[in-house]
Every structure is written in structure tokens, then in C-alpha cells.
Amino acid sequence: MEKEKIAIMGMGYVGLTLSVVLAKNGFEVYGIEIEKEVVENLKKGEPHFHEKRLKAILRQQLRLNNLKICESFPNEKIDIYIICVGTPLKKESKTSNIDYIRDVVLNVAGHMKRGSLIILRSTIPVGTSRSVVLHLLEKQSGLKAGKDFYFAFAPERTIEGNAILELETNPQIIGGFDERSVTLASDLFRKLTPTVINVSSLEASEMIKILDNTYRDTVFAYANEIAMICEKLNLDATELINAANTHYSRNNIPNPSPGVGGACLSKDPHILIDFAKRAGYDAKIIKESRRINEYIPIQIVSRIKAKLEEFNKNIRDAKIFIVGFAFKGEPETSDMRDSTTLLFLDELKKYASDIHGFDPVVDNEQLKHLGIKVCETMGEGYSNADVILFLNNHRYYLDLEPFEICSKMNKPAIFYDAWRMFEKELFKNIEGIHYMGVGL
């Protein structure tokens, strides 16, 4: 039997991981990408970001010819098109930029045939599938949805760093233009994952994607607000939250964090705030949560500055060593998009000039663009440092020896452990070191 042919537009975090998993599950996949350099590297089996198991499966599927990477559509009839291009926030208005979607939809409309299934996977404001994507597809192709072609929205809900595994285990939500569209899209995803959940409309599936991420942002903001209150009360927020959660089934309070970053969690609440407003509702908790999560990295700078002043040190002359630039450490990723470390760095640069950095996953070439002194080793960074900050939660730090680090620092010095990776008690025995964290 001939394999179904799928074209996936956008070889980013979402499109590339989905492409390799579909290729591995028996489809003939064309990965379409407009960035020449990305295309060249992918053809050689070199992904442009770190994701567990990605490189090996990419190479295997290229070799087996199940996956072909191209700059434009092949001269082949494609059965299914899956749109995975970016939908970044506009800087000033913090509203969704759907220009990439518009461009790619025009391309698809020119290539699709009767019977094609089109699936949108990018995150978009509720209503966009119908009012923008379907509208453009019908207008440009002259075909009618539900009669000549089929259309569904199937949001990506995997976690970066573990996307390959989750694509084959996570439940997949499907909303479609009509029953046939839902059935076709469900049949596709059922070949990847055991649970497919069909919802009543395109809009329902669009909204589920956004409410998922916004929920997480909101609960993280709760923990972060508790942390800021604990700082005022001289209480240790992590100790309190862990105690409150222990064997108490009604609680699942997250630990505080140095803000909330990453391309999705920092973007999706803004999308929700915007379309809720356009629909006539002012989203209060969601808006305030985002504000808290964006404020924490700024607040860390002012706490560090004030503590250095207590030590009669000027932040301008202090050697500051930042560890962890990827937006998270667990599961590990090289993605720095909207990392809270970058928000922290922007604020820090207003006061400090001797800033050093290290990340166990991000390529040093990428760090060099941040205007900091990039360290080849941890030791280079912490030797004579006045401040060391661990700003993400990579497990690499667990093997570090805090006594060794502190012995080389310029005391009195600050050891800032944003994710509480180290035992607080250890630092009580280290003279000249002030141990700090979010909510401590």
C-alpha cells in the first residue's frame, strides 16, 4: 500500500519533532522550511536545537527516505498539510503576529487538491482558524471546506526537551470544520498516540491550547507571589510550600521560580488577554499573573544590588557570574527564547559591567551574542566572583561542589540559587557566603 504523503510547514521545535515522529510511524514526510541554512543542516542530519533523541531519529528517517527536507513543496500530490510556523508576539502591543500563517496558507492554497486535509498546529487567537485560515484557503484555492477539502486544528501540547516521547504518549486534542475533518485528523494522530480527544469545534480546540499554558502561568505566579511575601516576612517559601504539600492531597503548589519564560508560557497568556478583551472581558488574574512572572527577574536584580550594598560593594565593580541561560534546565533544552535569564540580564546590565556566563547546554557561540564574557568552564566564572546565580534548573548543577565554588569566591559574596538546587543547610557552615533564592 502506498504511504500517505504529509507536508509539514515550518521546521522549528514543533514541526521538526512532529516530522521525525510521523516519518518513524509509516508516513512519507516532506519537511518544508524557508530558512536556507536550516534546510542545509537538516539535510545533513544536523538539527538546529537540542531535543532528546531528535538527532538520531532525524538521521535514521533521512537515511530510510521516509523524511525529505525541502525549501518548497515537492512535485508530488500531498494528502495532508500540517502548518507549524511561528506565531510570535508583536513587541509593543503583545498581540499575536499571524503573518507567517497567512504566507504559508497562501502557499498551501496554491498546492492543495480535492480531498486534501489541512491541519493547523501553531498557537493562534481563538477564531483565527475559521476567520483567517479557512477563509484564505477557500478564497485562494476556489475549493470549499467540507466538500472539496478538510480542515482541523490540532494543538501542539508537548514539553520542549521531551517532545519526541510526548508526541507518542500525550492525548491529542482535535477540533474540525466538520465531522469528516475531525475523523480524518483523528485517524492520523491515532497512529501516533493512544488517546485522541475530539472536541466540538475549531474554536474549542484553539481555546484548549491557550487555557492549558495560561493555567500553568497562573499557578506559577501564585507561588511567586507567595515567595515575595515570604521574603518580606523572613520566611523560606520553599520550606513552607514543601511542608504544605506533604501528604496533603488537596495541595499541589509549585515551587517559586525566577519568573516564567519560554516561547509558549510567556506568550499564550498575552494572546488570551488580548482576545478576551476583544470579546469584551478584562482578564484580571491572568494579566496580573503575567505581570508577576515578568517582574521576578527584575526583582532579583534589585535584591542582589541591595545585598551587595550591605556588603559595601558596588554592583558596578562586582564580578557577577550567571549560570543557566536556556529558558529551563529540566527537561534540558538549548532554547533561550523568552528565557527569564535574558530579562534578568537586560535589567542587570543597567547597573553591572563585569558579567560572566555559562550554560551546560546552550552553544557558546549563541551566548557570545548576549554581550557577556562567556566562560568555557564553571571555574573561570566563579573564581573571584562576588555573585554567582543559578537561574535555571539543569541537573548538571547537582554534581557541583558548593564548598569548592564558595572557596574561590570574593567574600563576602552571594550564592543565588533560584531553583533551590542546593541544600540551604550547607551554606550555614561557609563563612562569608550569603545564600539566597526566590522566596528566601
Q: Which residues bind ligand NAD (CB under 6 A)?
A: 9-15, 32-35, 38, 84-87, 100, 103-104, 122-123, 156, 160, 263-264
Q: What is the DSSP letter of 143?
A: -
Q: How far is the CB of 131 from ligand NAD (least distance, A)?
A: 17
Q: Which has the closest alpha carbon to 218: 269, 173, 153?
A: 269
Q: How far is the CB of 155 from ligand NAD (least distance, A)?
A: 7
Closer by beta carbon to ligand NAD, 78 or else 264? 264
Closer by beta carbon to ligand NAD, 263 or else 318? 263
- CA–CA gap between residue 356 and residue 373 (Å, rounded): 5
- CA–CA gap between residue 319 and residue 59 (Å, rounded): 43
- CA–CA gap between residue 48 and residue 337 (Å, rounded): 14
Q: How far is the CB of 423 from ligand NAD (least distance, A)?
A: 32
Closer by beta carbon to ligand NAD, 8 or else 388? 8
Closer by beta carbon to ligand NAD, 160 or else 217? 160
- CA–CA gap between residue 337 and residue 54 (Å, rounded): 19
Q: What is the DSSP letter of 15?
A: H
Which residue among 209, 267, 305, 313 is the active-site one?
A: 209
Residue 121 · residue 175 · CB < 8 Å: no
For 162-186, b where at least 16 C-beta lie within 10 A, e where not — what string?
bbbebbeebebbbbbbeeebbbbbb
264 labelled catalytic: yes
Q: How far is the CB of 228 from ligand NAD (least distance, A)?
A: 28
Q: What's the length of the chain?
A: 440
Q: How far is the CB of 294 from ligand NAD (least distance, A)?
A: 18
The three three-digit cell numbers of residue 221, written as one number: 505566579
209 labelled catalytic: yes
Which residue among 230, 264, 375, 406 is the active-site one?
A: 264
Q: Which has the closest alpha carbon to 270: 249, 284, 287?
A: 287
Closer by beta carbon to ligand NAD, 34 or else 298? 34
Closer by beta carbon to ligand NAD, 7 or else 300? 7
Q: Which has the closest alpha carbon to 360: 404, 413, 316, 399?
A: 399
* CB neighbour list of residue 274: distance below 8 Å, 6 or more residues apart: 93, 94, 95, 96, 125
Q: How far is the CB of 107 from ligand NAD (least distance, A)?
A: 6
Q: Which has the closest alpha carbon to 22: 68, 77, 89?
A: 68
Q: Which residues are part of the catalytic machinery? A: 209, 264
